[in-house]
Amino acid sequence: MDNIDQRILEILQTDCLKTAKEMASELSLTTTPIYERIKKLEKAGYIKEYVALLDADLLGKSIVVFLNLTVKDHHASKRKEFIQQMESLDSITEFYHISGSYDFLAKARCSSIKEYRDFLVNDVASISNISDIESQIVLEELKYTTKVII
């Protein structure tokens, strides 16, 4: 990967609808090499997918909650089962295995505190391998980005 590839990735992270022609103009190249580089970056796995980032507030999903989770049994089969159960929950938008006081961190989006409570009581708490859950409700989102700094 060279500097031009890096610039292409930076441009796509800001506006993935920008055309190869627009990028070529910005990078002082012709369209064909830009298009070929993008295809090469996709094939190599640098570009995983193209998505639209939606406004959760406008869609009625403005409640963000982080869940710190501790599991009882860390054996491979129990861990795998727990991960599959958590991944199947639609309200979970991000899920991480972490170090520290807790084993896992999950991010959930809901439309109300009542919806979150129902989700916590009916869905998350029904997973048998969880020994502890700590919820942190986001009061204000101060910074959010999907950009990876290159």
Rounded distance between C-alpha atoms, residue 15 and residue 34, angstroms? 15
pLDDT at 12: 97
| The total number of residues written for the chain in this structure | 150
Alpha helices in 15-136 (DSSP H): 20-27, 31-43, 76-87, 113-119
User: 146: which residues sit within 8 A by CB, 6+ positions away?
Assistant: 13, 53
pLDDT at 38: 97
Residues facing residue 133 across a β-bridge = 69
Residue in 1, 46, 2 with CA at minimum distance from that of residue 148: 46
Pair of tokens at residue 85: 């159960």
Residue in 20, 18, 15 with CA at minimum distance from that of residue 35: 20
pLDDT in tens, the chain (150 residues): 999 999 999 999 999 999 999 999 999 999 999 999 999 999 999 999 999 999 999 999 999 999 999 999 999 999 999 999 999 999 999 999 999 999 999 999 999 999 999 999 999 999 999 999 999 999 999 999 999 999
Residue in 147, 68, 144 with CA at minimum distance from that of residue 104: 68
User: Contact, 127 vs 85, CB < 8 A?
Assistant: yes
